[in-house]
């Protein structure tokens, strides 16, 4: 059985969506990051960086932090959503890392400056919003000739999608990116995504373009 430590954020939802797609049973432990629960010593023991998400795999007696590693681990363990074909597998890992190193951090800073702290620094608002918009363009180009990011629906899509789901927070008109909009809507309509989005609790319906 997997224990998932999570909150209602894109990084947390990446893992709950994957767990729902895998259709496996898991226990959810809400870590309210607005109440500093991520700093509790008990959580620190499994997530030394004080960030959600984290998992404990009781069958394997291991704990893990970092959503990208968790997604790769679960996909590999269950033999789903990470192709065994060499090229597709590495394209999936490549785009998962693109999300981890680019889309996530840039969109996260856009939320910080554009949504939560407007007027504090025009430079930071422009810098992060423009970079996020550029990344939407990169994704749009990638999806021009493909339904999904790397081969079939995979952990690369599940990693990117929750970040795009905050297009309103980012002040980005998603409909300017036709391929992203098509891809986003198709994934949003998946029952496992609808369910995983509401873990550990309901905050809002899944945003639709
Ligand atoms: N690279 C980490 C980032 C995790 C992360 O930034 N989590 C945020 C929520 S999305 C968090 O726990 N924030 C708590 C804080 O800032 O103290 C991952 O992908 O797991």
Q: For position 71, which CATH number holds?
A: 3.40.30.10
Q: Pocket of ligand 1, candidates 52, 96, 104, 156: which has the most ligand atoms within 8 Å of its Cβ, to mutate?
A: 52
**CA–CA separation, 45 and 7 (whole Å):** 18
Condensed to tens digits (0 to 9), the pLDDT of residues 153-198 reads 999 999 999 999 999 999 999 999 999 999 999 999 999 999 999 9
Please check whether residue 139 lies inside any domain of the structure.
yes
Partners of residue 4 on adjacent β-strands:
28, 55
Residue 35 belongs to domain spanning = 2-80
Instruction: Classify 24 as helix, strand or coil.
Output: coil
Task: Answer with the one of 41, 64, 80 that is the final residue of a domain.
Answer: 80
Which atom of ligand 1 lies closest to the CA of 14? 19
Please check whether residue 205 lies inside any domain of the structure.
no
Please check whether residue 90 lies inside any domain of the structure.
yes
Please check whether residue 196 lies inside any domain of the structure.
no
Q: Please say whether the beta carbons of 7 and 200 come within 8 A.
A: yes
Residue 169 is predicted with a pLDDT of: 98
**CA–CA separation, 14 and 17 (whole Å):** 5
Which atom of ligand 1 lies closest to the CA of 54? 20
- Sorting pLDDT into bands at 50, 70 and 90, what band is 106? very high
- Residues in contact with ligand 1 by the CB-under-6-Å rule are 9-11, 33, 38, 50-53, 66-68, 100
Condensed to tens digits (0 to 9), the pLDDT of residues 132-164 reads 999 999 999 999 999 999 999 999 999 999 999
Q: Please say whether the beta carbons of 181 and 209 come within 8 A.
A: yes
Q: What is the pTM assigned to this prediction?
A: 0.98
Condensed to tens digits (0 to 9), the pLDDT of residues 62-105 reads 999 999 999 999 999 999 999 999 999 999 999 999 999 999 99
Task: Answer with the one of 80, 100, 129 that is the final residue of a domain.
Answer: 80
Query: For the chain, how many structural domains are there in total?
Result: 2
Distance 12 CA to ligand 1 centre (A): 8
Q: How far is CA 117 from CA 10, 127, 173, 194, 199, in A?
A: 19, 14, 20, 29, 26
Residue 58 is predicted with a pLDDT of: 97
Condensed to tens digits (0 to 9), the pLDDT of residues 25-59 reads 999 999 999 999 999 999 999 999 999 999 999 99
Please check whether residue 203 lies inside any domain of the structure.
no
Which atom of ligand 1 lies closest to the CA of 51? 12
Which atom of ligand 1 lies closest to the CA of 10? 10
Q: Please say whether the beta carbons of 81 and 21 come within 8 A.
A: yes
Read off the tokens for 169: 């927070």
**CA–CA separation, 91 and 82 (whole Å):** 10
């Amino acid at each position: 059985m997997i224990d998932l430590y999570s909150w209602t954020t894109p990084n947390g939802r990446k893992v709950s969506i994957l767990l729902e797609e895998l259709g496996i049973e898991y226990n959810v432990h809400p870590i309210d990051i607005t109440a500093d629960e991520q700093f509790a010593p008990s959580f620190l023991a499994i997530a030394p960086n004080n960030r959600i998400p984290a998992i404990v795999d009781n069958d394997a007696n291991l704990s893990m932090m970092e959503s990208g590693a968790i997604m790769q681990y679960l996909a590999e363990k269950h033999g789903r959503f990470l192709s065994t074909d060499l090229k597709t597998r590495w394209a999936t890992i490549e785009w998962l890392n693109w999300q981890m190193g680019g889309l996530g951090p840039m969109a996260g800073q856009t939320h910080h400056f554009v949504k939560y702290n407007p007027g504090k620094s025009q430079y930071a608002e422009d810098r992060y919003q423009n970079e996020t918009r550029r990344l939407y363009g990169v994704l749009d180009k990638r999806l021009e000739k493909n339904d999904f990011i790397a081969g079939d629906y995979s952990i690369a899509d599940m990693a990117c999608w929750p970040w795009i789901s905050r297009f309103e927070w980012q002040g980005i008109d998603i409909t300017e990116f036709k391929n992203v909009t098509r891809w986003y809507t198709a994934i949003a309509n998946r029952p496992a995504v609808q369910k995983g989005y509401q873990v550990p609790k309901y905050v809002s319906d899944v945003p639709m373009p």
